[in-house]
A = this chain, B = another copy of it.
């Protein structure tokens, strides 16, 4: 289905590449007409979620397909959003003592193999470099799927004494996982961008303290910037990160009934430290292995944002992430054009803090411009014409609700700030409601199966046997455990599958 959107782009490109003909002028007009017709989203979110999603991502200019199967281009709008997420997180992580650095892209196979569970988890999806120029390499090199192996090799060299701890490094980089499943722009691509944090501590206590701080940071950023409400919890043994002792994640319910794993943090204990010989001489003179964490947030979150908040007009961007929070569309008539444009420029100057776009392009109707900026997700639109000039008013419209207000020009800065603020909060509320409406409890396996069929995520009690997770996944057509939500009490009931005493309440859903 994703091909449809791409095909359309291809067709209009082909038409533009027709060589000079006697019909040049007509061609220009025709191209404009076609552009206007195909610019909008042509399917409804509720009718065909996948096609709708792809159209929103491609047509809004967030991301696009590339010549490499499963890999995407992140276009300027998508990249600006990622850059904002990066800036916000990096600043907070630096306050926690983490420092940015850069490690090699390529990892020798022998190094990757040092931690047994880790290599088992990643080998099937590694892209291998085997040749440099025309020369076959002595040892094949993995394009990093994650950087534990290459970083911990350096850690074992750098960390010698308690004075070298804690060591907290992060990398904002690209990683590659050669999964052969159906790719989805932003949500499921072979290459993506992320931050990977790798920290080493003298004590378990410090590592556990950082786990709490990082999970709180992810939650805060996702709620207050991405306006996404998720379920924080612990992965089951079966689902934890390859090599970790414990994995914590935030899981997001998407409108298609699937859940997406968001940012995470892994408590690695001393597992990697032992495999990669990361030890230090402690104050008491004894040699010890360090305790480690790893944590990450990725560009997939931009996909979650699109899936949850966008609508049939296109992208909806939370104001705190939008590179341009505002567009000003002048309503132009010949006799008042000059005055209206002049006033629009004044308004733009006054609202500079919102990085306004003044759309003074000629040859497009205001209605066409409204559609385009709605497609691109600009949070607030100001409409301004000759009548507004006379009345010293402007019309301010909100992207998500369509709400319109007439405000006095002198109050416009305050009105825009309030509208953006309200929109940001409302989007989070909407996301929370979506999750609350669609995460339900099931007492029996039948209830669980029924709920999954109705595109719900389901809380159910299970025993500690990983086979029961497999059985449930099989019987629900693919709903595995997402996590064990934080704060859920030890259940008194039975495992919905085997009937043995339940150990945990887990969240089940199909995964994106």
Contacts and interface: CB of A to CB of B under 8 A. Distances in A.
A264 interface: no
Given A20-B286, A281-B27, A285-B25, A76 B99 contact: yes
A124 B131 contact: no
Contacts of A74: 101-103
Contacts of A13: 156-157, 160
A406 interface: no
A1 interface: no
B150 A105 contact: no
A133 B129 contact: no
Given A169-B76, A174-B174, A286-B20, A127 B102 contact: no
Given A101-B76, A131-B128, A107 B68 contact: yes
Copies of this chain, whole number: 2
A209 interface: no
Most chain B beta-carbon neighbours within 10 Å: one of A101, A107, A286:
A101
Given A67-B111, A173-B174, A133 B143 contact: no
Contact of A133 (B102, B105, B126, B191): B126
A31 B161 contact: yes
Contact of A134 (B19, B72, B124): B124
Nearest to A169: B76
A129 B143 contact: yes
Contacts of A141: 68, 127
Contact of A101 (B24, B75, B125, B161): B75
Most chain B beta-carbon neighbours within 10 Å: one of A64, A66, A124, A135:
A66
A17 to B, nearest CB: 6
Contacts of A75: 101
A487 interface: no
A157 B101 contact: no
Interface of A: 9-10, 12-13, 16-20, 24-25, 27-28, 31, 64, 66-68, 71-76, 78-80, 82-83, 99-108, 111, 123-135, 140-141, 143, 150, 153-154, 156-158, 160-161, 169, 173-174, 176, 178, 180, 191, 193, 277, 279-281, 284-287
A-B interface, 5 closest residue pairs, ranked by CB to CB distance from nearest = A24-B285, A132-B178, A16-B160, A76-B99, A71-B104
27 contacts: A12-B160, A13-B160, A16-B280, A16-B287, A24-B284, A25-B285, A27-B285, A28-B281, A64-B158, A66-B103, A66-B104, A66-B153, A67-B108, A67-B111, A67-B150, A68-B150, A71-B104, A73-B154, A74-B102, A75-B101, A76-B169, A102-B193, A105-B143, A105-B191, A106-B127, A127-B132, A128-B132
